[in-house]
Amino acid sequence: MDVAALHQQVVGWLDQSRKRILAAMAAPLTVATKSNRNDLVTNVDRANQAFLVAQLQAAYPQAAIVGEESHLARPQTLAGLVFFLDPIDGTMNFVKQRANFAVMLGAYVDGVAVYGAILDVMADRLITGGPAWPVAVNGVPQPAPRDLPLAAGLLGVNSRMAIHNQSHLGELALASAGARMIGSAGMTFAAITMGQQVGYVSYLQPWDVAAGAAIGAGFGLRVTRPDGAALDLLQPGLVVAAMPQAHAAIVAAMARP
């Protein structure tokens, strides 16, 4: 795959996407619930997904697309080129705060990460990278985050899991330098990429994790299940994403009875 060409396309698409979102925010939102009262979707989520899916289909007609708000057929395998798309990651933040939300796109070939992009819409900050594509913020190359021990770094956590100490996450939050509950996987992966957090533990859908995992592959971020197993990007599940030292401490603690 021509990653340089994809990168240029994604930069253009997400620039248009940002402008469309900001324009839509000037009008009243249409908000609906999905699985529960805290699982929201808006007209902007749906419109942005439709826009980005159209761009992807025009440029890569043979690719499969996995999108949060999509009614497209979900692929049964990861063979070939697969895009993972989250048109508004952190919809609750988008609705309640008008901030702390992201647009995410991850590209994989035969299940292997190729490229990821996370757009912080309100800050106009685009993070891109991949295993063979340098990590950058708005085109400026970034140094790799430091591999800090858990006690020396901030840990992004799922709020409900931490409060109820599920899988020892409350204890892990206390063992870190401090817990952070952003409410957006994209914004949390962005914080890890910029060296602001050492890790993240949450229950995530494939479109929540694909872009961040692809970017993190460029600087040694470990992204696994709690037992250290590789992710299946066709299935949701609990994800441990952290730099190596913190990752080792997290999976060891989560293995305890």
Q: What is the pLDDT of residues 101-138, one digit of tens each?
A: 999 999 999 999 999 999 999 999 999 999 999 999 99
Tokens of residue 179, six digits: 């817990």
- How confident is the model at residue 35, as a pLDDT? 76
Cα 131 from Cα 165, distance rounded (Å) = 34
186 vs 38, residue with greater confidence:
186
* Token pair 């692929």: residue: 75
Tokens of residue 181, six digits: 């509950």
Instruction: Tell me the pLDDT tens digit for each residue of 55-110.
Output: 999 999 999 999 987 677 788 999 999 999 999 999 989 999 999 999 999 999 99
Choose among 126, 139, 130, 106: nearest CA to 17: 126
Q: Which range, of 31-35, 96-100, 167-171, 199-203, averages the lowest pLDDT?
A: 31-35
Q: What's this model's pTM, rounded to 2 decimal places? A: 0.95
- How confident is the model at residue 229, as a pLDDT? 97
Q: Is the pLDDT of residue 162 over 70?
A: yes
Using CB atoms within 10 Å of the CB of residue 111, give its burial: 0 to 12 exposed, 13 to 18 middle, 19+ buried.
middle
Cα 97 from Cα 103, distance rounded (Å) = 16
Mean pLDDT value across the chain: 94
Identify the sign of the CA torsion 55, 60, 62, 67.
negative
Using CB atoms within 10 Å of the CB of residue 101, give its burial: 0 to 12 exposed, 13 to 18 middle, 19+ buried.
buried
How confident is residue 11, by pLDDT bands cut at 50, 70 and 90?
very high
- How confident is the model at residue 152, as a pLDDT? 98
Q: Which amino acid is at 172?
A: L
Identify the sign of the CA torsion 228, 233, 236, 242.
positive
**Pairing mode of beta strands 112-120, 125-130:** antiparallel
Tokens of residue 137, six digits: 């913020």
Cα 33 from Cα 40, distance rounded (Å) = 5
39 vs 22, residue with greater confidence:
22
